[in-house]
Amino acid sequence: MRIAGAVIVVTGAGSGIGAGLARRFVAEGAHAVVLADRDLAAAQAVTAQLGSRAAAAGLDVTDEAAVAGLVAGVLAEHGRIDLFCSNAGLATGTGLAADAGRTSDPAREVGTAADDAWQRAWEVHVMAHVYAARAVLPAMIAAGGGYLLNTASAAGLLSAPGDAPYTASKHAAVGLAEWLAYSYRDRGIRVSVLCPMGVDTPLLMDGLAAGSPAAAAVAASGPVIGVEQVADAVVEAVTNETFLVLPHPRVGKFWATKAADVEGWLVGMAKLAGQIGTADQIGTAGQTGTADQTGTADQTGTTAGAKQKER
C-alpha cells in the first residue's frame, strides 16, 4: 500500500517504536496519523512535533469499547482507515514465580501477582489486536481493502529469557497475525507482523539501566537498534506488502535454525539463560526487570553475545 495519502492509526505512539512509526508516516506524506496511547500527555507531546496531520488520542487498547470508539471517530472524521498499527506493549520481566510482575514504572505496571502479569500480557499483546481487527475490518472490507500492522517481537518467533508471559503472548500475537493475514486476504486485507529484537526504547533501556537480567539477555543477543531502523523496515514491508517484518535480519536465520533443530535450539537457549541468569526459579522471587525480552542466543549454542552487523 502507499503510505503517502493514507489515514493511519498507531497505538502505543506516545513512546518508542510507536512514536517512531508515527513520525515516519508523517514524513512519508500520510494524510492523517492518529497517535493513540494510554498516556495521552505522551502522545500529545509527540504529536506537537508533527504538525497538523497528526492528532493525539487517549486510548487503553485493552478496552474494546474505547478501541471501537476511536475507530468510529477516525472514520467519522476521515472517512476511512488505511493502516491500523496495533503496537502498544509492555514487558513483565517474570517467569512463573508467584510474587513477580511489579515494575518500577507505573505506566508499565502489570500487577503484583504473576497471574496479573499473564493476564495483562494477554490483553495488551493479543486481545488488543483482536479488538482492533474487529473494529476496523468491516470498514476496510467495505472500502475494498486495508492494512493491519501488528507489533509482536522476535520473542514471538524465538523466545524471551526471563519473561514467560511476554514470550507466550507474543507467540500468540504472531499466530493471530498469520490467521488474519490468510483469512481476510481475499477481501483485500493485508497484514504485517513486526518482530524486532532489541530496540532503543524505554521498554528495553529502563530494564538495562535497572540491571535486569532479562534486558541483558536482549542486549547480549544482537545489536540494539534505533526506532528509525524499525521504521525503515516497516515502511519497506508495508509498501511491498510483506507479512514478516524483521528489522534484525538475523531473526529470520535463528527462526529457520530453530525449526530445523528445535532440540539443539533448546540446548542453546538453556545455555543463554544459565549464563545470563534468567532461568526462572519457581517459588522464589521473580525477575523484576522491565525490559522487552527478545533474547535469542546464537542458535548454534556457541555465542550468546556476538554482535554482528545486521545488513
Ligand X SMILES: NC(=O)c1ccc[n+]([C@@H]2O[C@H](COP(=O)([O-])OP(=O)(O)OC[C@H]3O[C@@H](n4cnc5c(N)ncnc54)[C@H](O)[C@@H]3O)[C@@H](O)[C@H]2O)c1
- Which amino acid, one-letter code, is at 206? D
Residue 117 to residue 95: CA distance in whole angstroms: 10
The correct pick among 47, 62, 159, 221 for binding ligand X (CB under 6 A) is 62
Q: Which stretch binds ligand X (CB under 6 A): 22-30, 56-64, 111-119, 250-258?
A: 56-64
Query: Would you give the DSSP letter of residue 161?
Result: T
The correct pick among 204, 214, 251, 269 for binding ligand X (CB under 6 A) is 204
Applying CB under 6 A, does 278 fall inside the site for ligand X? Answer: no
Q: Which stretch binds ligand X (CB under 6 A): 14-22, 76-84, 110-118, 132-140?
A: 14-22
- The three cell numbers locating residue 59: 486510548
**CB of 305: closest distance to ligand X in angstroms?**
17
User: Which of 45/98 has CB closer to ligand X?
Assistant: 45
- The three cell numbers locating residue 252: 529470520
The correct pick among 6, 33, 56, 89 for binding ligand X (CB under 6 A) is 89
**CB of 176: closest distance to ligand X in angstroms?**
13
**CB of 158: closest distance to ligand X in angstroms?**
11
The arrangement of strands across the sheet holding 189-194 comes to 54-58, 32-37, 7-11, 83-86, 146-151, 189-194, 244-245
**CB of 208: closest distance to ligand X in angstroms?**
10
**CB of 103: closest distance to ligand X in angstroms?**
11
Site string for ligand X, 69-88 (x = CB under 6 A): ------------------xx
Return all residues near 283 (Cβ < 8 A) that are at least 6 apart.
97, 98
DSSP structure string for 56-99: EEE--TT-HHHHHHHHHHHHHHHS--SEEEE---------S-TT
- The three cell numbers locating residue 27: 514524513
Residue 25 to residue 288: CA distance in whole angstroms: 34
- Which amino acid, one-letter code, is at 218? V
Q: Which stretch binds ligand X (CB under 6 A): 16-24, 71-79, 177-185, 263-271?
A: 16-24
Residue 135 to residue 61: CA distance in whole angstroms: 12
> Distance from CA of residue 19 to its chain's centroid?
13
The correct pick among 40, 68, 75, 107 for binding ligand X (CB under 6 A) is 107
Applying CB under 6 A, does 39 fall inside the site for ligand X? Answer: yes
Applying CB under 6 A, does 18 fall inside the site for ligand X? Answer: yes
- Catalytic-labelled residue, pool 131, 166, 182, 184: 166
Applying CB under 6 A, does 217 fall inside the site for ligand X? Answer: no
**CB of 218: closest distance to ligand X in angstroms?**
6
Q: Among this protein's residues, is 184 annotated catalytic?
A: no
Residue 244 to residue 174: CA distance in whole angstroms: 9
Binding residues for ligand X, how many (CB under 6 A)?
32
Return all residues near 254 (Cβ < 8 A) that are at least 6 apart.
154, 157, 158, 296, 298, 299
Applying CB under 6 A, does 15 fall inside the site for ligand X? Answer: yes
User: Which of 58/145 has CB closer to ligand X?
Assistant: 58
Residue 123's nearest CA partner among 70, 60, 69, 68 is 60
Give the residues lining the site for ligand X (CB under 6 A). 11-12, 14-18, 37-39, 42, 59-62, 87-90, 107, 124, 151, 153, 196, 198-199, 201-204, 292, 294
Q: Active-site residues: which are they?
A: 166
